[in-house]
Every structure is written in C-alpha cells, then in structure tokens.
Structure 1
C-alpha cells in the first residue's frame, strides 16, 4: 500500500469514505453528506490530503486543516484520519499518520490536534502510538444517532 498526496481522481473515494462515517459513525458530527467539491476545495487550499491506496483503490485518507482562523493559531493544525471498514486494523491509519505528521513538520507546524469521539479505544490507541497525548475530554459535546457523545482532545508537539 502506498501513502501519497491525494489527486483529483481520488476525491470520489475520499468522499465515499467520509460519507460512510456521516451515515454510520460518530468520527464526524456532520449529518449531511459532504460533496466531492468540498474535497476539491481542500486540495486547492494546499492543506495536506494524503491517501492510502493500492491496485484495489483508496483504503483511507489523512487530512489537516487550520485549527482556527486566527493568526495566532497559524502553526497549529487539526488532523483527521479516516479508514475504510475493511482497512481498519491493518495499520493503514498509522501509516497515514506517520506521513501526515512528517508533512506537517516539514511545513513548519508546531502542534497537531485531534478530536476522538468516545468510545473509540482503537482511535485512542492509534493516537497514543503516534505520540499524541490526551489533553481533555468534553462531556456530551456532540449529539448524533440519538445519543450524546463525549469527545477527547489529543495533541502532539512537532519538533
């Protein structure tokens, strides 16, 4: 499996992976599908968007975006990793994170944040294995699928 920068031809697969989570999961609190054009905008903005792909297709993606639109936060990015159900538990997320973190460091970023909806022991373990530390949990901050959901925030300082 190759980890590489996303290309326009990957955007349909990225959209499908994300929209599956919109429908089935709580890794995103979006409740409406995101169109391909949103990913095209992300690609055009120049923020990192990586895919894990092989001959069978795209099995996951990693993205980063500015934490908040204020100049004082310009060296902080929020990261997201999404992996297809068949790719989960196969090391895809970790490989994506390794390359994403290296790219963010290359770009001069100082801190990377990640939000994990609970319960999600696999995602917490992935983040810990990639050097993130938990910094706090917001209780019942999200609501989806007729339930309240806690979110734990993690951070990793880049060198």
Structure 2
C-alpha cells in the first residue's frame, strides 16, 4: 500500500479512468450507464471537476488503479453544501484498501471545502461499497426501490450519508 499515492486527477489519466469505468459498465450494476463511454465523453465528464468538486486518483508506480470524486448533488443553490461521492477501483486492485484511501482523502477535502454532508447512492448487491461507506461513518438513509433497469432486472439504490464536522 505504501506505493499508492493519492493525487488530483490529470487529463492524461483519462484512458485509465475510462478503462476502470467501462469495465464496471460492462459487468456491474454499480453504474446505471448501459453503454461504454468514449474518451470524448470522459473528457466532457472530466471538465466538470474543479476545485469545488475534486477528482482524485490512486496512482501505483505511475499506473492509475482507482479514482474517487465529489460531484454536485443537485442543481438548486440550497444544495451547494452537499456533495455526492463516487469511488471506483480497478478490478485487479480491489480488496487492497485503495477505495478506503481514496474516500478518506476525499472526505478530508470535503471538510476543507466547507461541505456539510456527503451522500452516496449504492446499488443493491454492492456489498463492498456498502462496507466501505459504513466503515467510514456513512449511514443508510433511504432506499429507492427498482429505480434502475440493467442486465434484465430492476435494481434498488440505497442512499448513504455522512455528516462532516
């Protein structure tokens, strides 16, 4: 784990981020995208991140092995002190504490940026993500039943929330 460095994402990281994300699109209901993203789509996605909405990568000896980000929770101004988090770890690097390291850094940044709370929507069956978020102090706050249809069935999404101090 000592070779892992968490840093701000750079545009040159996009091919690795695309690979990580597209694997999840193909194999998991952790995202409700149904088609793989293109590099151009990821460039547009990348442009949404800036100081108030950080995008972090876990870098192992120059190779991106995971990423986490804060994004806008809702568009209305009263939501500006709430952010939504996402975290993805490369399939060959899961179970090594990388997600926890990324999320810990992200939570620290959220506190520094003055956020009041972070929410995360986790698809049913994604126990690794549930366990990670609960370990970090997130609590379940509600379930949206059957809101996503992927792989021939409906999926629930449970929202988890962490209040920042």
Contact 1:11 1:39 in 2 (8 A): no
Q: For 2:26, which of 23, 41, 50 is the aligned residue? A: 23
What's the CA shift string for 1:93-117, capped at 9, x where partnerless? 0000000010111000001000110
CA RMSD of aligned residues (A): 1.4
Give the match for residue 89 of structure 1.
Answer: 95
C-alpha separation between the residues in 1 aligned to 2:100 and 2:79? Answer: 26
Unaligned runs of 5+ in 2: none
Match of 1:58 among 64, 68, 86: 64
Q: TM-score, normalised by structure 2?
A: 0.91
Structure 1 residue 124 displacement after superposition: 0.8
Instruction: Tell me the secondary structure at the aligned position of residue 86 of structure 1.
Output: helix
Contact kept in structure 1, 2:5 and 2:60, CA below 8 Å? yes
Structure 1 length-normalised TM: 0.94
Length, aligned pairs only? 159
Aligned partner of 1:112 in structure 2 is 118
Shift of 1:46: 5.2
Return structure 1 stretches of 4+ with deviation > 2 angstroms.
32-36, 42-46
Structure 1: which 5+ residue stretches go unaligned?
A: none
